[in-house]
Structure formats: structure tokens, C-alpha cells
Copies of this chain bind each other. A is one copy, B any other.
Amino acid sequence: MTRIGVIGAGIAGLHLGLALRAHDVDVAIYTDLSADAVAAGPLLNTVAHHHHTLERERALGVCHWEADDYGYGCHHHCVVGAGPDPVRFRGDFEYPSVVVDHRLYLPRLMADFEERGGELVVATVAAEALPRLASEHDLLVICTGRAGLATLFGRRADKSPYEVPQRRLSAGIYHGIAYPQPTGVGVHMSLGHGELLELPITSREGRATVLLFENIPGGGLDELVDRPYSDDSRAYERLVLDVLEAHYPACFERVDRPSFGLQAPRDILQGALTPIVREDWAIVEDGRIALAVGDAHTVVDPVNGQGANSASHSAWVAAQAILDDYGFDERFARRVARDREAVVLGVSDWTNMTLNPPPQMVELLFAMASSKPVCHPDRQADALATPERTAAFIARWSGAG
């Protein structure tokens, strides 16, 4: 009987495991953190689940935070530095998105996975253990960037334009900020300095606001990353308010100073990441392959809020291939690579372009603001590839209703 080993219990590993269990495939997920440890731990990320991800969750029967109750349906854009006044516009979605703290989300899906007969093994898998693990499964799928396992898969230089982080990040869950109306994500840009994503999150204390500062290195806002929150929480919160006031006025105007502050000391994440695309698979032992999914395959900067969605898509494609195919060899792995390429590499290319936008990005942004059909996360890299493509894309889709 086919037995699949999945390493990593983030959204990729869990969506993959649940999709396989829905067809009675024997599957074990190995994770270094128990559900309780995840729930009690530090902030993991601040990612939105967009429509296609929610659709997969509905198909899996794990959409516990439905968009009707927990969702939002637009982006409120504010660009500072392009002219004398901030430029403000709104982009409405066709379908709503949801942000839920993964310290709620992942433990709940771990429980779903176990209730449905999946085996959840809490143990750190070191690279040295892979050959043994490979021999115990028909296929290993690596769904984590942790514990050095991702380095099994070579870096794809053609899809990894950066050697160092392009943004320095400070992400925290705050209270004391009124939601914009209609409820939506604030997408704030301060040209030359960075971006702020302001997200309506459902956390263990109910609804709150994520402030995800994407700071351009050397752009004047590094202190948000260099100064650890834990050193002086009051001073850090004052710094946040100063940055909001100076750079992100469309957020600052909704702050209630007396109640403003981080939700809890473990609700902040400061650091940076280098975006990378790795090879789709590696040979582990006796010709057995390990497939890279999610963070093991592609790490995108959070600036476009696509990481979890890309990982979920990648897991879904892998699950379909496992259910369809037979013989988990390189032909199988090439199929997975081909089937996910348009979305996963499209999202990665686009996000990398967003970090250092070409001139035609401005044109595209304004077109997106006025025409929903122009808004395709997995097509923007195509649309931006050349100025001619951007013009043709806008011409093609702006009239499409």
C-alpha cells in the first residue's frame, strides 16, 4: 500500500496530508512542533488566505473561519511620496479573503488531520535521517524551510534574483486601530522607504490588526527591525506611531492612541528573508525522490501576501499528482513541477518584481485600481515582463468588464 511521508505541518504539509486522507492514502506528517507548542508559540506569519485557498479549504472541509464571518473584500491603497499629496484609491475583490493567526489555524488543521486517520509525528527530522525515512515511505514530500532540509534542493539561480533580503520586516498584532471601511487590508507605500500592510486578523483574542512593515534596507526605517521590541515595549510602540504618522497617514488617522499597543509580547516578529526558488525535487536514496513543496520550494517576500496561497496551491497540485500517478520517480516530479509552474513561479516572479518594480509597474497598478479583471496574482509577472506586455495586458483586460 502506498505510504506518503510529509515533513512539515504548515499550510502546505497539512493541505497535502488532508487531501490525501480524503482519498484514504496512508500518510504521516512529521513536525518539530506539537499543536500545543504552535498555539503557545511566537507569531508565525501574517498571511492572507485568498479565494482559491479558501476554496481548497472548503473542498477539504476545513474552512473553519468562513469569509462571511471573518473575511474582508478590498484593499485600501495609499501612496506617499509620488506627489504633494498622498494618492488614495481602493481595489475591491471579486471574492473575499481571510486572515487568521496560524497559531489558531494550524493546530485546528492538525486535529482535523488526525481525526481523519492521518498520523502526526512530533519529531525533528534532521537531514541525516532522510535516507531512512525515504526507505519507509513511497515518497517523501518536504514542506518546511526549517531544520536545513530545504538545502537538499538546489537554488534555482534563474528564478532567484536576490542574494540578500530586499525588505527588513517587523510584523506584529496590534490593538487600538479602527478598521478602514469597508473592512479591508491597508496597502500603504512610502516611496523610497517601504510599505506597510495593515491586515484585519482573527487572533486568539478576537479581531485585531496586523502591522507588517516592509522596510527598504537603508531607507530610514531600519530601526523597526534593529530595535528588539522586548528591549523597551513602550518605546517600540512610540516608534511605530512615529513611523505611521510620518509615512503611513491613512493608517495613522485611525489610531486610537490610548488603546494602541502590541497585543502580547509574543505577537511580534522582527527579521528578514531572502526570496528563493529551489529545484522541485531531489534524489534521496536508491533513486527515491523527495519533492519540495511550499517553503522548501519557494520562499516569497510577504509584501504581496501570497506565501501561504502559493504553498497551498503547490500542495494541491502535488496531492493531485500523487492520487493520479503511480511510480514516484522523476517523471512524476516533473509533472508536479510543470503543473504548478504557472501559479507558483508566476507569484514568485511577480513578488520579486514588486520589491524592485520596473517603470511599467505604476501603469499596471493604476489599471488594477480601476479594473478587476486586471488583478491576477499569478499573471502579473507575465504582464510586467516587458513594457509592451504591460500595455497589451492592460488593453486586453481593461475592457473586459
Q: How far is the CA of A395 from the CA of B383 in the complex (A)?
A: 44
Q: Which of B331, B338, B392 contacts A327, CB < 8 Å?
A: B392
How far, in angstroms, from A397 to B326 measured CA to CA in the complex? 9
Main secondary structure of the interface of A (DSSP, over half): helix
Q: Is the CB of B326 within 8 A of A396?
A: yes
Asked if A342 is at the interface of the complex by the 8 Å CB criterion, the answer is: yes
Cα distance A326–B331 when bound, in Å? Answer: 31
Residues of B within 8 A of A386 (CB): 327, 329
Complex contact A326–B393 (CB within 8 A): yes
The answer to whether A331 touches B385 (Cβ under 8 A) is: yes
Task: Tell yes or no: A335 within 8 A of B by CB.
Answer: yes
Cα A389 to Cα B327 with chains together (Å) = 5
A383 touches B326 (CB 8 A): yes
A165, B37: Cα distance in complex, Å: 65
Q: Are A338 and B331 in contact (CB under 8 A)?
A: no
Measured in the bound complex, the distance between the Cα atoms of B341 and A2 in whole Å is 27
Q: How far is the CB of A256 from chain B (nearest CB, A)?
A: 45
A383 to B388, alpha carbons, bound, how many Å? 43
In the assembled complex, the Cα of A22 lies from the Cα of B396 at a distance in Å of: 16
| Contacting residues, chain B, for A341 (C-beta < 8 A) | 338
Contact mask for chain A residues 328-353; partner B; CB cutoff 8 A; 1 contact, 0 none: 01010001001001100000000000
CB-defined contacts of A382 to chain B, threshold 8 Å: 325, 327, 331, 335
Q: Copies of this chain, how many? A: 2
**Chain B residues whose C-beta falls within 8 Å of the C-beta of A327 in the assembled complex:** 382, 385-386, 388-389, 392-393
Chain B: minimal CB distance from A213 (Å): 33
Instruction: Verify B331–A342 contact, CB threshold 8 A.
Output: no
A326–B394 CA distance with the chains assembled, in angstroms: 9
- Chain B proximity of A212: nearest CB distance (Å): 31
Residues 281-333 of A at the B interface (beta carbon under 8 Å): 325-327, 329, 331
Given A325-B382, A395-B326, A389 contacting B342 (CB threshold 8 A): no
The listed residue with most B CB atoms (<10 A of its CB), out of A331, A335, A397, is A331
Instruction: Kindly state the separation between the CA atoms of A342 and B336 in the bound complex, as whole angstroms.
Output: 11
Contact residues in B for A342 (Cβ distance below 8 Å): 335, 338
A397: chain B residues at CB < 8 Å are 326
- Bound together, the chains give a CA A67 to CA B381 distance in angstroms of 43
Cα-based distance from A326 to B385 in the complex (angstroms): 11
* Smallest Cβ-Cβ distance to A389: which chain B residue: B327
Selected A-B contacts with CB under 8 Å, 28 pairs: A2-B396, A325-B382, A325-B396, A326-B383, A326-B389, A326-B392, A326-B393, A326-B395, A326-B396, A326-B397, A327-B382, A327-B385, A327-B386, A327-B388, A327-B389, A327-B392, A327-B393, A329-B386, A329-B388, A329-B389, A331-B382, A331-B385, A331-B389, A335-B342, A335-B382, A338-B338, A338-B341, A338-B342
6 tightest CB-CB pairs across the interface, nearest first?
A326-B396, A327-B389, A326-B392, A327-B392, A326-B393, A331-B382
